[in-house]
Amino acid sequence: MASPAQFPFGQPVAWRPSDAQIAQSRLKQFMDRHGLATFDDLMARSTGDIAWFWEAVFEDLGIEFYTPYSQVVDLSRGVQWPEWCVGARMNIVHNCLDKWIGTPAQNRAAIHWEGEDGTTRILTYGDLYREVNRVATALRAHGLGPGDAIGLYMPMVPEIVIALLAIAKIGAIILPLFSGFGPSAIAARLNDAAAKALFVADGQFRRGRPIPMKPIADEALAGVPTVRQVIVYPRAGLDVPLQAGRDVLWGDFVAGQPSDAPTERTAAEDPLMILYTSGTTGRPKGALHTHCGFPIKAAQDMAHGFDLRAFDTLFWMTDMGWMMGPWEVFGVLLLGATMLLYDGAPDYPDVDRVWSLIERHGVSCLGVAPTFIRVIMAHGAEPVQRHDLHTLRILGSTGEAWNPGPWQWFFETVGGGRLPIINYSGGTEISGGIVMGNLLRPLKPCAFSGPAPGIAADVVDESGQPVRGVVGELVIRQPWIGMTRGFWQDPERYLDTYWSRIPEVWVHGDFAAIDEDGLFYILGRSDDTIKVAGKRVGPAEVESVLVAHEAVTEAAAIGVPDAIKGEAVVAFVVLHSDYTPGEALRAELKAWVANELGRALAPKQVHFVDDIPRTRNAKVMRRVIRAAYLGEPPGDLAALVNPDAVEAIRALKA
């Protein structure tokens, strides 16, 4: 295990909540209602009595059931297969839309939208309700209904939210797909779920240029015999072919449909959504989620961690194919708040685009990936300072481990040193966070306040024993309502992935640590671990050191075979524009790491690259980097946004 010196322990507290912030927070008000004096008291009760806690969450969120449950949770099949809301009937769309109609909320903005060209739209809860009903009725008219999987392959336009909710309203299964997927990735997921229909856009805009989507979908659908209906939304104005009897334009699909429609009275545990997460090998894993699972966990995290209220506007930089897209939709609507969707590049036509969006739309909660901050901070503070960001009250982050330098820049430059960064880490299979920040506890750079309420998180050593002050495996000791109901049609793979290492304990696959104040740190995937002459080091630890050097904008570290040490560290770095690659700088960076982590963990090689392979949600693809560098099969590349970066690394050769 790594020593404390190799991750951001020892950092001073950067932010403390005021007495007013604590008292006014949704989390403190929840605790007060239940007689819980401290956050530790809350964690003890929420994980020691999970039935009590999730019933309290239903009440806190105002969740309504058509038929009440007889039991909050049934563990008779084991902790791996809990059944929640036993016997209940509920449809999450009732809680997201139907129940707001006839109340003042129906005139509140549900969606603010902005396109790359500056076009804007606003949909109130009433508008969204009516449009969802039209699409739901049209789906039913085309023979689609409960249990049918329906794909979403669209950019972040309001219609993708309308389609998502319409699918759930009729009791069908939502199948979100990354808007940047290629044909094989789309076909694999549609086939795995035996999808019956697909919503697709003609194209999307990136940097002012239309990027076709419908032709990619057509190529995929040639190998998907189950899809019999394709609804085409004309986003980019492209001339795309329509297959007779299968394809229909959005406007024609909904023409004449009524603005009112019944909501399917699904069972609480009926399938709602399959979220695919790429594996290192084999076919993608389809995490199955239900009506009473994913959305409730999403909203609970927003309420208790991000303190989201009905008056808030949340902007999370995401795609609907990443879990944070559905997370944003369900969580915001369950809380009666507003979401901002942006369809375009985050630095187009200028690097200040995100900050201008915040100002124009009054964003109060901003969510980013650390990689975005690492890239954008190279342009300095001036683009941020062009804009009035006074509406911001919460900063959020997820997707990758932080490095202290970028975290501090986000905190000081964007947050003015006054706003908390609610760091958030979990996963597709979690329905949100395992660990996260909150408004009750002080924050340190790169840290998490602790587990999300209701999550029995711990850090353990290789034998499964709890550890503090050193790096271990992140685990969860109790079920929670957002836990995936297994992988679609592959229960053994689900059990093998999470439950096979420590009996009755979920092992998440992340390296983590807990400091002396009980704050958590996430240090990257444990399967990315590098072992140099018996010494373990996480890639994020090496990367944190490298990006702290004034010359480096981004970094990725991998382990490669070494005849003497077993493995050696190889680093790939992107330099600031005013630095030039060269042997002197390469030697300086090696020495820089050696000085911080010890000579044994210094990179064997440092390569200068123009870009680092990443997904659309900004996760660094280390397994792809390693495979490309070693000339091995790279596995699933469907989520990759910049394939040229892989080819550049492949050309380096180990």
Residue 5 has pLDDT above 60, yes or no: no
535: domain CATH number? 3.30.300.30
Q: Assess if residue 259 is contained within a domain.
A: no
Q: 55 and 117 in one domain?
A: no
**Confidence (pLDDT) at 654:** 61
Q: Of 54-58, 280-284, 621-625, where does mean pLDDT reach its minimum?
A: 280-284
d(CA 72, CA 472): 32
- What's the token pair of residue 311? 């008056």
Q: How confident is the model at residue 459 (pLDDT cuts 50, 70, 90)?
A: very high
233: domain CATH number? 3.40.50.980
Q: 464 and 389 in one domain?
A: yes
- What's the token pair of residue 300? 């609970």
Q: 416 and 281 in one domain?
A: yes
Q: 608 and 494 in one domain?
A: no
What phi and psi values does residue 429 have, to the nearest 5 degrees? -80, -10
Structural domain of 631: 529-652
Name the average pLDDT for the chain. 93
Q: Assess if residue 264 is contained within a domain.
A: no
Chain mean position to CA 309 = 20
pLDDT digit string, tens, across residues 214-240: 999 999 999 999 999 999 999 999 999
Q: Of 105-114, 277-286, 331-340, 587-596, where does mean pLDDT reach its minimum?
A: 277-286
Q: Of 128-132, 290-294, 365-369, 611-615, where does mean pLDDT reach its minimum?
A: 611-615
**Confidence (pLDDT) at 557:** 93
Beta strand 520-525 pairing with 209-212: unpaired
The closest alpha carbon to 190, from 160, 148, 235, belongs to: 148
Q: What are the DSSP calls for 233-291, one per residue?
A: E-SS-------TTTEEEHHHHHTT--S--PPP--BTTSEEEEEEE--SSSSPEEEEEET
Q: 143 and 32 in one domain?
A: no
Provide the H-helix boundaries in 353-508.
353-361, 370-376, 382-385, 404-409, 491-498
Q: 146 and 54 in one domain?
A: no
**Confidence (pLDDT) at 279:** 47
Summarize the chain as % helix, strand, coil (round to 5): 35, 25, 40
355: domain CATH number? 3.40.50.12780
The closest alpha carbon to 393, from 29, 120, 17, belongs to: 17
Q: 533 and 520 in one domain?
A: no
d(CA 316, CA 318): 6
Task: Give the DSSP H or E segment for 219.
Answer: helix 214-221
For the chain, the distance separating the N- and C-terminal CA atoms, rounded to the nearest angstrom, is: 27
What lies within 8 Å, CB to CB, of 432 at 6+ separation is: 297, 298, 300, 301, 327, 424, 426, 452, 482
Q: 488 and 460 in one domain?
A: yes
Q: 64 and 18 in one domain?
A: yes
pLDDT digit string, tens, across residues 543-591: 888 998 999 999 999 999 887 777 899 999 999 988 999 999 999 999 9
Q: How confident is the model at residue 612 (pLDDT cuts 50, 70, 90)?
A: very high
Q: 283 and 249 in one domain?
A: no
The closest alpha carbon to 654, from 634, 630, 632, 633, belongs to: 630
**Confidence (pLDDT) at 636:** 67
Q: 10 and 80 in one domain?
A: yes
Q: Which of 494, 509, 524 is the last residue of a domain?
A: 524
d(CA 478, CA 49): 10
pLDDT digit string, tens, across residues 467-495: 999 889 999 999 999 999 999 999 999 99
Give the count of beta carbons closer than 10 Å to the beta carbon of residue 581.
14
Q: Which of 197, 228, 254 is the last residue of a domain?
A: 254
Number of domains in the chain: 3
Q: How confident is the model at residue 625 (pLDDT cuts 50, 70, 90)?
A: very high
Coil/strand/helix, residue 383: helix
Q: Are 541 and 547 in contact (CB under 8 A)?
A: no
Q: 339 and 452 in one domain?
A: yes
pLDDT digit string, tens, across residues 71-120: 999 999 999 999 999 999 999 999 999 999 999 999 999 999 999 999 99
Q: How confident is the model at residue 616 (pLDDT cuts 50, 70, 90)?
A: low
